[in-house]
Amino acid sequence: MLLPLFACLGLSVGIQWVLWVVAALLHTEKFYDLAGSGTFILLAHLSLQWTGARYLRQQIQTGLITIWGVRLGTFLFLRILRDGHDRRFNGVRDNPRTFLIYWTMQGIWIFVTLLPSLMLNLEKRDKPLGLRDFLGWSLWTVGFITQATADQQKWSFRSDPDNMGTFIQSGLWAYSRHPNYLGEILQWSGLFLSASTVLSGFQLVSIISPVFVWFLLSYVSGIPILERQALKRWGSEAAYQSYVQRTPVLWPFKF
């Protein structure tokens, strides 16, 4: 199993490097997220084909990843076409070396996040569907609905000219300041839970997938950046201060 996993890692990073060349030449990040989602889908399907097992659990897992990738990739691509740029890449898109780091990290992120599903698809053993599978897929469904709903609510909010210059605090955004990220974490947690039905021994190290997604969004590239931007933009407004005080950062309840 190790050789196919290394092949997946190499392919994930290699695809990003090839696309980095194009992005650097064009000085654009417009297809960065779309490339990431596409690579997720490609690796999921390739790993499913390599062993030829194609058990029902593997097919469902791969199908859920495909649904996630198509929806999120399309949404993010349409969003950047509407906005014209991604603020994450300000000062980066014109620096090829720094830009390469972003693309390389995306390749690694894809591999680590997919790890439970890759191991599942490369596993020739199978077990009957059980409680963990249905719990995992239910968790994925809750996460998918949460993320898709939050994304659509924010898209509609920003599309209304009356909301220009203000922040969203309605819908799911009234219960969490980042419900889209909550949905992302739930989805990958659910996919690990289902995969763990079959995985054993060293394969269980793949629990790093949901932990990595949570850590990345909570402490590195997601919430910290958006919270700093929001504080800079609306931090002096009483309405925003009130929103922050009453609304949890991620989970819809306060510990």
Say what the pLDDT of residue 90 is: 85
**The token pair that represents 156 in the structure block:** 């509609």
Query: What's this model's pTM, rounded to 2 decimal places?
Result: 0.93
pLDDT in tens, 150-189: 999 999 999 999 999 999 999 999 999 999 999 999 999 9
Rounded to the nearest 10°, the torsion over CA 162, 168, 171, 174 is -140
The answer to whether 203 touches 163, Cβ cutoff 8 Å, is: no
pLDDT interval class at 84 (50, 70, 90) = confident
How far is residue 237's CA from residue 104's CA, in Å, rounded to a whole number? 38
**The token pair that represents 124 in the structure block:** 């020739």
**The token pair that represents 167 in the structure block:** 């922040």
pLDDT in tens, 104-145: 999 999 999 999 999 999 998 889 999 999 999 999 999 999
Is a pLDDT exceeding 80 seen at residue 53? no
List of long-range contacts for 35-40, beta carbons under 8 Å, 24+ apart: 35/106, 36/73, 36/106, 36/109, 36/110, 37/69, 37/70, 37/72, 37/73, 37/76, 38/69, 38/73, 39/12, 39/15, 39/106, 39/107, 39/110, 40/65, 40/68, 40/69, 40/110, 40/113, 40/114
* Residue 241: Cβ within 10 Å count: 13
Say what the pLDDT of residue 255 is: 59
